[in-house]
Amino acid sequence: MGRWQGAGLMATTLLGTGVFILPQMTIDIAGYGAIYTWLLLTLAIIPVTVVFGALTAKFPHAAGPAYFVEQAFGQVAGRSIGLLFLFVVPIGAPAAILLTFHFVHALTPLSEQGLLAAELGSLLLLFALNYKGILISAKLQFLLTLAIIIVVIALFSIIQFGLTTGEAAAQTYSTVLSQEKIQPNLIMTAAGLAFWSFLGVEAMSHLANDFRNPKKDMLPAMMIGTVLVGGIYFLCTWVLLRMPMPTDAVGSYIQSSNLPSSNLAMINAFNYGFGGLGAQVIGILGIAGGLATVNVYTASLSRLAWSFSKDGVLPRYLSPLNQHNVPSRALAAILIVMGLVIILAYVANRELEDLIAWVNGVFVVIYFASMMAAAKLLPKRYQWLIFLGCLFCALLAYGLGLKMVYALLLLCLTLPFLKWQQTHLTRE
């Protein structure tokens, strides 16, 4: 990959499952404060992105953050972070797939069993996309990024500047919500959920060896993708807040403090701005973007599993590469696990918000560990960015609250196991 293909891959990884859903969810939580949530989150993720880009350029490795932490703090610490990344699959994959297939309902009604079959079928598509490497996906996802950007900017322009006099006088969600007191704790809670939108910064570090020149192109690709995505999420939130409200809905809206959730709000916004076809356009882009995100994580996880297989942490069976230099056995194993967990999530009927928050908690730990590793591995000029990255992680952990328990529990289980494994192998 080159710089712009990498930027497209980064952008669609971040936009992916949440671009047409998360703005609505943050407004439900923080009201008008959702605007500040996205602004602060975008600014806060920039130092983290720079640090990850610098680490990846200096230490390109398929294990990504796990390798960074290992270089700084030793094998046990590094492998524990790698296993955390692998263990996030059981909740991350269902959450991403469930978000993606929200849009299938908009295109065509499916029974619960039909939806489950479609979700499982998408895993076969992911295997086909990854079997020959990430380059083909990168080219397709660059085009997808352009399509999402064009739609969002066009929608923003129409709703922001194209209102008639009569429509401009009507109540909008922003005029109603701006009358309420903005609560910083709700902004932080919304940020804890919205952090899902920036999961992917670390995933790019696993793909460093897929770049022609990672030292030259990795950081620019990551920065372009991150800033672009933050702007898109901000615009989507602004569009929803600028939507005119039906007069008879104002009172009930103030009572419930929620956007209408029976339909996806971005579909309604598209229908309002363009006069129809919202389900088709937003639905297709939402499905494609969601699958693009899961695709990148599938590639990242397969390479991490392959790296751990070579090191003896995971079975050697996962270590062979195919003729396209892709760890196909590890890829198949990751997708099988995803399929099993999707079935379990269907049976258990877990709440989507819980799944997202638990995933976010795991990544807060991974990001914080990476920042601490950077403090030892990078030159002093990066120290202030590392401090901001650590502060960002601390604030997210505060916003997530008890949802951090899953991540901390995994850490408490993996560290003793890896310490035992290291001691056992040393004795042998």
Would you state the structure tokens that stand for residue 86, as one six-digit string?
């692998």
CB 314: neighbour CB atoms within 10 A? 20
290/365 Cα distance (integer angstroms)? 24
Q: Give the integer Cα–Cα distance in Å for 410 and 87.
A: 8
Q: C-alpha 207: how far from its chain's center? A: 16
Provide the 10 A C-beta neighbour count for residue 115: 17
Q: Where does residue 59 fall: left (phi above 0), alpha (psi -120 to 50 degrees), or beta otherwise? A: beta
Say how far apart CA 243 and CA 272 lie, in whole Å: 8
Write the pLDDT tens digit of every residue in 110-135: 788 888 888 888 888 888 877 776 65
Lowest mean pLDDT among 135-149, 310-324, 394-408: 135-149
- Under 8 Å CB-to-CB from 406, ≥6 apart: which residues? 91, 358, 361, 362
Q: Residue 80: which of 318, 360, 366 has the closest Cα?
A: 366
Least confident range of 183-197, 346-360, 385-399: 346-360
pLDDT band of 73, cuts 50, 70, 90 = very high
SS3 string of the chain?
CCHHHHHHHHHHHHHCCCCCCHHHHHHHHHHHHHHHHHHHHHHHHHHHHHHHHHHHHHCCCCCCHHHHHHHHHCHHHHHHHHHHHHHCHHHHHHHHHHHHCHHHHHHCCCCHHHHHHHHHHHHHHHHHHHHCCCHHHHHHHHHHHHHHHHHHHHHHHHHHHCCCHHHHHCCEHHHHHCCCCCCHHHHHHHHHHHHHHHCCCCHHHHHHHHCCCHHHHHHHHHHHHHHHHHHHHHHHHHHHHCCECCHHHHHHHHHHCCCCCCCCHHHHHHHHHHCCCHHHHHHHHHHHHHHHHHHHHHHHHHHHHHHHHHHCCCCHHHCCCCCCCCCHHHHHHHHHHHHHHHHHHHHHCCCHHHHHHHHHHHHHHHHHHHHHHHHHHCCHHHHHHHHHHHHHHHHHHHHHHHHHHHHHHHHHHHHHHHHHHHHHHHHC
> Which tens digits make up the pLDDT trace of 198-251?
877 776 776 777 777 777 888 888 888 888 888 999 999 988 888 776 544 434
The residue type found at 355 is: L
Percent of the chain with pLDDT over 90: 12
Opening angle at CA 299, ends 295 and 302, nearest 5? 135
Please report which confidence band the pLDDT of residue 259 belongs to, taking 50, 70 and 90 as the band edges: very low
Residue 270 has pLDDT above 80, yes or no: yes
| CA R_g for the chain | 21
This prediction has a pTM of 0.77
* pLDDT band per the 50, 70, 90 thresholds, residue 87: confident
Predicted confidence (pLDDT) per residue in 289-331, tens digit: 778 777 777 877 788 788 778 877 788 888 888 887 788 898 8
pLDDT digits (tens, 9 = 90+) for 334-359: 888 888 888 887 787 766 677 788 88
Rounded CA gap, 158 and 168, in Å?
12
pLDDT of residue 53: 86
Query: What pLDDT, on the 0 to 100 scale, is given for residue 225?
Result: 84
CA distance 182 to 37: 11
Q: What angle do CA 25, 191, 147 make, to 5 degrees?
A: 60
| Cβ(79)–Cβ(313) below 8 Å | yes
- Cβ proximity of 19 and 289 under 8 Å: yes
CA distances from 272 to 162, 170, 232, 278 (A): 11, 14, 19, 9
Which pLDDT band, with edges at 50, 70 and 90, does 254 fall under?
Answer: very low
C-alpha 172/C-alpha 249 separation (Å) is: 11
Architecture of domain 3-427: Up-down Bundle (1.20)
pLDDT band at 139 (very low <50, low <70, confident <90, very high): low
Question: What phi and psi, each to the nearest 5 degrees, are found at residue 61?
Answer: -160, 145
pLDDT tens digits along 177-188: 666 677 888 888
Query: What is the residue type of 357?
Result: A
